[in-house]
Amino acid sequence: MFGPRRARQTAASVLAGAAAAATALLAAPTASAAPQPIVGGTATTTAAYPFVVQITDAAGSQFCGGTLVAAKKVVTAAHCMAGETTGSVRVVGGRTRLDGTDGTVSRVGRIWVNPDYRDATQGDDVAVLTLSTAMPYKPVSYVSSTQTNVYAAGTTARILGWGTTSENGTSANQLRTATVPVVSDSGCRSSYGADYVQSDMVCAGYSSGGVDTCQGDSGGPLLIGGVLAGITSWGEGCAEAGYPGVYTRLTTFSDQVTAQVDS
Ligand code: ARG
């Protein structure tokens, strides 16, 4: 039941997921009712966060987020690239709204997916895209492998994306953002048990729920102190009490990311 809800679901799997989520809600007396818009956030712009990019299909339909870490390099989630090829995806920078036509669209010349990746709940959920066209937007820096102190429990982290604004809801047309506290490893383990792979993941969210990333936010940034420190990966439902969002623990992968950024 702790499987990630993927951004690219078929209509049938969306319905199956909705039924499963309804069951989970009935089984969880502490689940918060009707979370608000990301869930619990506010609208923002790519002018405010120029390094946040949309990942779309060839037709321009957004299905994941990503983060520009160099003019031609985007960090995203490995699970976002499942079934994708360099020809099937585009990266859109500088476009605040999903229905906009502004900004810069780039093709992808190369997709690196962490070779150990199997499933988001098993960790290793990181990918780096090499763009065909340089993005004229300021990239953001990412954590180095030694900066593991950024994940101290209670630290404020910022999440961003165009994902759904409620569990089983519809996507936000405009980029949204919110802040959530980092959750301790023991807290995350009590929520997710063995699916929480401490070396590869970090949780963030309020114990009462209400604020979270959701479907379609995957691949997008978790910023701590203005630096990319995590990648939206998975969670049980969205914004449910007792189930924080799970993010890729980027310090574990920063050397691998650097190898891709430099290549
Ligand atoms: N797997 C989702 C996606 O592909 C992200 C889910 C995040 N869930 C959460 N509760 N924080 O967009």
192 in a domain, yes or no? yes
Q: Which of 166, 171, 218, 233 is catalytic?
A: 218
Give domain status of residue 109, yes or no: no
In a domain, 161, yes or no: yes
Q: How many domains does the chain have?
A: 1
Q: Is residue 91 part of a domain?
A: no
Report the alpha-carbon angle 125-74-153, nearest 5. 50
> Widest CA span of the chain, in angstroms?
50
| Residues with Cβ within 8 Å of residue 115, at least 6 apart in sequence | none
194 Cβ neighbours under 8 A, 6+ residues apart: none
- Cβ–Cβ contacts within 10 Å for residue 32, how many? 22
Residue 160, in any domain of the structure: yes
**CA–CA distance, 62 with 179 (Å, rounded to integer):** 23
Cα separation, 205 vs 75, in Å, equals 22
Is residue 152 domain-resident? yes
Distance from residue 263's CA to the centre of ligand 1 (Å) = 29
pLDDT tens by residue, the chain, 263 residues: 333 443 333 222 333 333 333 333 333 333 343 333 389 999 999 999 999 999 999 999 999 999 999 999 999 999 999 999 999 999 999 999 999 999 999 999 999 999 999 999 999 999 999 999 999 999 999 999 999 999 999 999 999 999 999 999 888 899 999 999 999 999 999 999 999 999 999 999 999 999 999 999 999 999 999 999 999 999 999 999 999 999 999 999 999 999 999 99
Is 184 labeled as catalytic in the residue annotation? no
Q: Has residue 202 been placed in a domain?
A: yes
201 lies in which domain range?
A: 148-250
* Residue among 215, 236, 246 to mutate when testing ligand 1 (max atoms within 8 A of CB): 215
Identify the CATH number of the domain in which residue 186 sits.
2.40.10.10
pTM for this predicted structure: 0.88
Whether 166 is covered by a domain: the verdict is yes
